[in-house]
Amino acid sequence: QQQVKQSPQSLIVQKGGISIINCAYENTAFDYFPWYQQFPGKGPALLIAIRPDVSEKKEGRFTISFNKSAKQFSLHIMDSQPGDSATYFCAAKLGGTSYGKLTFGQGTILTVHP
Amino acid sequence: GAVVSQHPSWVICKSGTSVKIECRSLDFQATTMFWYRQFPKQSLMLMATSNEGSKATYEQGVEKDKFLINHASLTLSTLTVTSAHPEDSSFYICSAPLAGIFNEQFFGPGTRLTVL
């Protein structure tokens, strides 16, 4: 029930294309859903996040779509660029006194070809 | 955004020695910090929650005597890998939540530990 399932495991996209990464969860006590971007040898960096009472959030080329009834959320990267090539992790945070403790998805390795 | 630093960024040690990794929140205070371990091409595995002024909370399967955590101040947590062995070689990452409605977490740059 604590798991967050992420797909696909890897994704190859041409420059200018749309990258879509999906995540699903079971625990309805999650109250915050961030996406992190990680480059090799670096720590994860917060990319964008959404609350369950919002269906979509857009920041620049990055958009999160959230479907509360289906318990699914996804990251869309528009106009994908080679510099977006990285590993992306979705995550979910339990509400209450969890002090920000996150449950991570398995990760998606995104490769954007020039 | 908030900044979290780690030191060292990489360390190589001999088997049997102990290694200390520092995690600092540079521009905010954190009563709680998290320590993760990450193997190549895998997700982050939460090892423990570091609590300022009290004992750390370890995840199931993590040896507390092997991975000593001390949260000395509101901006510093340390992870000591005791009697390190080659199987402890990994990428260790800390994070700290910024106090707020959702306690948004910010990650350090990670420490690459190689045990020979």
Q: Is the pLDDT of residue B101 over 80?
A: no
Q: State whether A101 and B42 contact (CB < 8 Å).
A: no
Cβ–Cβ gap B34/A101 under 8 Å? yes
pLDDT tier at B100, thresholds 50, 70, 90: confident
pLDDT digits (tens, 9 = 90+) for B20-73: 999 999 999 999 999 999 999 899 999 999 999 889 999 999 999 999 999 989
Task: Check residue A97 and give its pLDDT.
Answer: 62
Contact B97 A99 (CB under 8 A): yes
Chain-chain contact of A34 with B32 (C-beta, under 8 angstroms): no
- With an 8 Å Cβ cutoff, the interface of chain B facing chain A consists of 1, 4, 6, 31-32, 34, 41-44, 46, 49, 91, 93, 95, 97, 102-110, 112
Task: Return the SS3 of A54.
Answer: coil
pLDDT digits (tens, 9 = 90+) for B46-58: 999 999 988 999 9
What percent of chain B clears pLDDT 90, i.e. is strictly above it? 84
Whether A91 has a pLDDT exceeding 90, the answer reads yes
Strand segments, DSSP code E, in chain A are: 4-7, 10-14, 19-25, 30-38, 45-50, 56-59, 62-67, 72-77, 86-94, 102-104, 108-113
**pLDDT score for A2:** 67
User: What percent of chain A is modeled with pLDDT above 90?
Assistant: 85
Chain B contacts of A46, Cβ < 8 Å?
A: 1, 104-107
- What span, in angstroms and rounded, lies between the C-alpha atoms of B94 and B89? 16
Q: How confident is the model at residue B103 (pLDDT cuts 50, 70, 90)?
A: confident
